[in-house]
Amino acid sequence: MNKNGFKIPDNYFDHFPNKVMSRIKAEKKKKKTFQLSVISSIAASVLIVFLSVYTMYKQEDKNEDCQLSEIEYFGIEMNDVYDICENTNSPIPDLEDTEIIDFLDNDELNYEWLIDE
Amino acid sequence: MTSIEDTEIIELFKLSKSKEKAFEILVKKYQEPLYWTIRRIVISHEDTDDVLQNTFIKIWKGLDKFKNQSKLFTWLYRIAVNEALTWINKNNKKIQYDSEINDNLINKLEADVFFDGNEIEKKLQKSILSLPRRQQMVFNMKYYQHLKYDEIAKILDISIGSLKASYHLAVKKLEKYLLSD
């Protein structure tokens, strides 16, 4: 085909539609892959945020468990309490009544600071 | 506004099961006129092939949003012209003046294996490429593609008055170029 000197290859227009349709199919595939990667990125971000918040929440819980009143742990400094919290995986275990009584029966304990309060 | 056939193509395109088939019909219907519109702007066959593909990809992406406020072919031609002009600007980024771009296109014409016009045809094409871009497009659409002024006005988004003036000026300049030397 020749138009005023401008030529085109033989059968160009017979093959052109297939060329375009192949490109369109490739574009559709690219679009699907992109959409999947966006969804994965969003899901990963949500998971990271959730884990961060969850970890922070758990850390705060641990600290609250360690804030026990002085009256329950006679003779034990607050620093000792935090040391215990740091070194154990669980909050300070509950003491049996008999254990508390045995501890209080200990003559070496100094109660003066308690009376002053 | 839009011919019945074009309307059918658009309706079929909107249904997912017939979208690709409808588009193939559209490509086969408009590939030639769009090819020549682009070719007269970018000159070489290789560049035209690339631009024509880009044009149809753009049409594929935008046809869902076509609102029937103009004829389909006007909309298609407009995309083709814009893609061709974008191509020229992209490939002549460092060049400031239109006249330099035109010189590049003339060189392309000389070098193109897919141009084998005789001396008169070559001279005419070089003369057209010496015109300002708008006058080139108006002349090509009116003279070679036989489009009406109102159709060209919608494609290029300029008034019919400006178009007629552009065409008149183009013809005068071409006569002068062709009669010189």
CATH of B1-95, one of 1.10.1200.10, 3.10.129.10, 3.40.1440.60, 1.10.1740.10: 1.10.1740.10
pLDDT at residue B56 tops 90: yes
More confident residue, A54 or B78: B78
ipTM of this complex:
0.83
Question: What is the reported pLDDT for A57?
Answer: 78
Q: Rounded to whole angstroms, how far apart are CA atoms B152 and B131?
A: 18
Q: Token pair of B41, please?
A: 């702007």
Contact (Cβ atoms closer than 8 angstroms) between residue B139 and residue B174: yes
Mean pLDDT, chain B, rounded, equals 88
Question: What is the reported pLDDT for A117?
Answer: 45
The angle, 0 to 180 degrees and rounded to 10, between the axes of the packed helices B4-14 and B19-42 is: 120
Question: What is the reported pLDDT for A71?
Answer: 47
Task: Report the range of poorest mean pLDDT among A85-94, B8-17, B40-49, B165-174.
Answer: A85-94
Encoded amino acid at B42, one letter:
V
Q: Which residues of chain A have pLDDT under 50?
A: 70-71, 117
Q: Please tell me what DSSP assigns to residue A84.
A: H
Fold exhibited by the domain B117-181: Arc Repressor Mutant, subunit A (1.10.10)
**What's the angle, vertex CA B144, arms to CA B140 and CA B148, rounded to 5?**
80
Question: What is the reported pLDDT for B54?
Answer: 96
pTM: 0.69
Count contacts between A and B (CB, < 8 Å): 60
Hey, are the CB atoms on A2 and B20 less than 8 Å from each other? no
Is the CB of A14 inside 8 Å of chain B's CB atoms? no
Q: Which residue of chain B is at minimal alpha-carbon distance from A8?
A: B114
Task: Report the range of poorest mean pLDDT among A84-98, B13-27, B98-112, B118-132.
Answer: A84-98
Q: Please tell me what DSSP assigns to residue A7.
A: E
Question: What is the reported pLDDT for A70?
Answer: 47
Is the CB of A10 inside 8 Å of chain B's CB atoms? no
pLDDT digits (tens, 9 = 90+) for B127-168: 898 898 889 999 999 999 999 999 999 999 999 999 999 999
Of B32, B56, B114, the CB nearest to A20: B56
Band of residue B170 on the pLDDT scale cut at 50, 70, 90: very high
The length of chain A is 117
pLDDT at residue B180 tops 80: no
Hey, are the CB atoms on B60 and A27 less than 8 Å from each other? yes
* Domain chopping of chain B, boundaries: 1-95, 117-181
Q: Is B101 helix (H, G, I), strand (E, B) or coil?
A: helix
- Residue B167 host element (H or E): helix B160-179
Q: What percent of chain B has pLDDT over 90?
A: 57
Q: Rounded to whole angstroms, how far apart are CA atoms B80 and B49?
A: 12
Contact (Cβ atoms closer than 8 angstroms) between residue A1 and residue B48: no
Is the CB of A69 inside 8 Å of chain B's CB atoms? no
Hey, are the CB atoms on B144 and A2 less than 8 Å from each other? no
